[in-house]
Amino acid sequence: MVRKTREQVWRELDDIGEDEVRSRLSDSSDDAADTRLVREWLERKERVASELSATAAGVQSGPSRGNLRLVGGVALIALSAAALGYVVARRRGR
pLDDT digits (tens, 9 = 90+) for 35-81: 888 899 999 999 998 888 888 776 666 667 777 788 888 888 888 88
Supply the pLDDT for residue 59. Answer: 64
Supply the pLDDT for residue 15. Answer: 93
Integer Cα distance of 10 and 37 in angstroms: 8
Supply the pLDDT for residue 60. Answer: 64
To the question of pTM greater than 0.75 for the whole model, the response is no
Supply the pLDDT for residue 29. Answer: 59
Average pLDDT, the chain: 82
